[in-house]
Amino acid sequence: MPNRPVLDFWYEFASPYSFLSALRIEPLAEAAGVSLRWRPFLLGPIFAAQGWSTSPFALYPSKGRYMWRDVERRAGRIGLPLVRPETFPQNSLIAARLALAGREAGWLPAFSKALFRAGFGEGRNIAEEAVLNAALKEAGADPGTAYAASRSEEVKGRLRAEIEYAKSLGIFGAPTFVTEDGEIFWGDDRLEEALDWSRHGR
């Protein structure tokens, strides 16, 4: 669709607020006339650069307790089931590589949504092959081909490059929305504002 503004949607498979955005962004973007670029990345290296060994929600208990309650309320308001995974944050490396392996073939968004539903809607382990396979199949991807691509140097390098690019933009959390004119919006609660900016703010 030419001339539509494009909004970059940066997300992390282990991030609860990314889960909320991934499962509500498409109809909102469609209504706003905005095209989406789904950009999975990893927060781990970005947190590490700030001196954090893990998610701030895991490092700071009161922040973590609040986050789960807040996500529960927000999920409830949009009718989304939420089941907390046993470990938090989950290891999302393979998930991110697999998603990027599907960028050209076009199943990246469908795979991402399916995996978010498994991870936070059902509390499943998104590092497990069975869970990843189910999400691939739901997205219409062939697991064999997808895994082979995800292990290639090309896709591994792609993920590293995305993370470096995110860092260079000043991204420090997820989800983050970046408009074509470089405006940055952080958090599921800024999604509407980001779409609005994409449409009018340019």
Q: Binding residue for a second copy (CB under 8 A) from 69, 84, 151, 202?
A: 69
Among 121, 172, 180, 199, binds a second copy (CB under 8 A): 172
Contact letters for a second copy, residues 24-53 (x by CB under 8 A):
--------------------------x---
The two three-digit tokens of residue 15, written as one number: 């991030």
Does 171 engage in binding with a second copy (CB under 8 A)? yes
Q: Does 162 bind a second copy (CB under 8 A)?
A: no
Nearest approach, Cβ of residue 77 and a second copy (Å): 9
**What does the alpha-carbon distance between residue 141 and residue 150 come to, in Å, rounded to a whole number?**
13
Looking at this protein, which amino acid is placed at residue 128?
E
User: By CB under 8 A, which span of 8-16, 28-36, 148-156, 168-176 interacts with a second copy?
Assistant: 168-176
If you write DSSP's letter for every residue of 129-193 in order, what string do you get? Answer: HHHHHHHHHHTT--HHHHHHHHTSHHHHHHHHHHHHHHHHHT--SSSEEE-TT--EEESGGGHHH
Which of residues 24, 35, 70, 93 is near a second copy by CB under 8 A? 70
First to last CA, the chain: 18
